[in-house]
Structure 1
């Protein structure tokens, strides 16, 4: 591992840079640099009113009810402009102080806190978060897939002033959800959820912040009266209550993750961890591996703090052949 650059805010999805360097059209490229479901939820017909009018209170109530069913949350549910929208609000929930982030992880948490005047330390264990004014745990973690059990998080909440649990990749693993515990016993916990990743509709820019009591009310105030669009409400209200699609998708993602692991293993890569939406491997040289795949128009993700880690999302069902041929050529 190399030492992370605290100022780095690199992300996946930077396909334009890959195309500039390696050529090819957008249709020729297979972008595996993000952990987004490549087989998105089928978008239903959207009423014209959803485009033409501001969302009504009844529309927001319908969306929140759908999210409550999906996440099992008895507390406040605040729709946001993606989980990233909630991340931008977290630093304003308390006066800046000492923040601790369980890492390495998604870099926007630390970067956004620092931008708002927080002193941020990255730590390697849950125990090291104790005593922080604000603690952040991504569960399951991006990029290594580390899991923190709900019981351990409940215990941690009693030892920090504010605990943020980012469950952006938790949809396929309901046993990890801490949202059902937001029933009066965790007044200092905020749970972040991403809609776009599991449902494959990241361009919708929809997420949720879940919290109890005063904390939930404060988040709602920060979000404002129209934090999400009418079309997002219509699509998500259908998707979040579609249990059959959800169950079928979890099975497919799990099978595809195992299929990707087999390809990587045959190439001599070692699994570091991941989720059903992405896998992270150790290989002899991550940058060289990324470039070898890019030469075949497959884009992956490497990290500034590791010379060996490479992360791949899953391809759509119709593009596995391209990925398999690229691995055979490594």
Structure 2
């Protein structure tokens, strides 16, 4: 692994703030965004529609309490250990409130935490995993003086699921360990999750409803952690930070029936992912890197990635560029798991494109 101090061969904030939604313009076949489906299932949509009748009133503390209780029951935690968020992105935006002296961010990974911290003037160390060993997490590579460590599990964009023992090993006295589990519920059985563990000092876990439930436009998620740590995180929030429909979504998606549905969806996604990996690996010149999340990281032939992405876009297909993730380059692209007919089209166009660029 390599370490890079903030400012040493670092990407600008603009690159760190580049996300897949920028790639997925209307009319394109969208492999760039990891949301499953065009919108929530009908039963969830009905719950949200019913919540609209309360929009004339401010979000109620009692409603927030019900949401925290629902999440707590889902993960075997206490309600005081839950903070409902306007999406995980809000949680990342609150990180400077923890006043870290030195933050370590494991990369390649979701870039928003680093962008927020750097914009707030927090020194950041990048802990880079390596493709040569499957982007394995090495806890010993984190500087001992880092009092905030951020890691995704599974990691976006590599899709690697780190063993829970390795993630727990990142915890240390006086340190906040933030584990971004935005895609944990998209892996069957939610293995290696720390969401239900309240015994790790300084642990924060962020969860999102965006991906599984197709709620990207609603902004709903939550944080799990010690009550005093959550209070520090929430200190700068304005009044009523989470909307009434988002609170209702958190309740609905935490109920046992919804959790069971998400488990079934994860099983289907895992099967579809395996088939998609096989189909894309059969395209000459494409390397599918190992992973378990509902997206795949691809490596294209040296020096051809940018041209391939351009030609895919001209053919009506959006993929997520990899070079804005620290540790990856222009020959990496990330693709979401999609239905077989869409995968077949991607594979066919990708094969034609690679021939055209001379792979």
- The TM-score with structure 1 as length reference comes to 0.87
| Offset at residue 203 of structure 1 (A) | 0.8
Distance 1:196 1:5, change over 3 A: same
2:103 is the counterpart of 1:99? yes
CA distance in 2, matches of 1:212, 1:310: 37
Given that 1:273 and 1:281 are in contact with CA atoms closer than 8 Å, whether structure 2 keeps it comes out as no
- Tell me what 1:279 maps to: 296
Given that 2:161 and 2:292 are in contact with CA atoms closer than 8 Å, whether structure 1 keeps it comes out as no
- Tell me what 1:5 maps to: 11
In structure 2, list runs of 5 or more residues that go unmatched: 3-8, 129-137, 354-359
Given that 2:159 and 2:294 are in contact with CA atoms closer than 8 Å, whether structure 1 keeps it comes out as no
Given that 1:169 and 1:275 are in contact with CA atoms closer than 8 Å, whether structure 2 keeps it comes out as no
CA distance in 1, matches of 2:164, 2:39: 28
Of 265, 290, 295, 2:309 maps to: 290
Deviations 1:251-280 (A, max 9, x none): 221122112212211113212234442110
Deviations 1:49-107 (A, max 9, x none): 3322222222112222222233444461111121010001112112x412111112111
- Tell me what 2:35 maps to: 36
- Tell me what 1:68 maps to: 72
CA distance in 1, matches of 2:156, 2:313: 22
| Offset at residue 320 of structure 1 (A) | 4.8
Mapping for residues 138-149 of structure 1, pairs under 5 Å: 138-149=152-163
Given that 1:209 and 1:219 are in contact with CA atoms closer than 8 Å, whether structure 2 keeps it comes out as no
Given that 1:140 and 1:167 are in contact with CA atoms closer than 8 Å, whether structure 2 keeps it comes out as yes
| Offset at residue 317 of structure 1 (A) | 7.0
Mapping for residues 160-171 of structure 1, pairs under 5 Å: 161-171=175-185
Given that 1:79 and 1:227 are in contact with CA atoms closer than 8 Å, whether structure 2 keeps it comes out as no
In structure 1, list runs of 5 or more residues that go unmatched: 20-25
Instruction: Please say which of residues 317-326 and 151-160 is displaced more in the overlay.
Output: 317-326
| Offset at residue 325 of structure 1 (A) | 4.4
Of 231, 245, 256, 2:272 maps to: 256
CA distance in 2, matches of 1:160, 1:148: 23
Given that 1:133 and 1:161 are in contact with CA atoms closer than 8 Å, whether structure 2 keeps it comes out as yes
Mapping for residues 129-278 of structure 1, pairs under 5 Å: 129-131=142-144, 132-158=146-172, 161-173=175-187, 174-182=190-198, 185-241=199-255, 242-268=258-284, 269-278=286-295
Runs of 4+ in 1 over 3 A off after TM superposition: 69-75, 220-225, 273-276, 316-325, 327-330
Of 305, 311, 332, 1:309 maps to: 332
Of 50, 55, 71, 1:51 maps to: 55
- Tell me what 2:134 maps to: none
CA distance in 1, matches of 2:170, 2:268: 34
State the SS of the aligned residue for 1:181. coil
Instruction: Please say which of residues 107-116 and 273-282 is displaced more in the overlay.
Output: 273-282
Give aligned pairs, total.
317
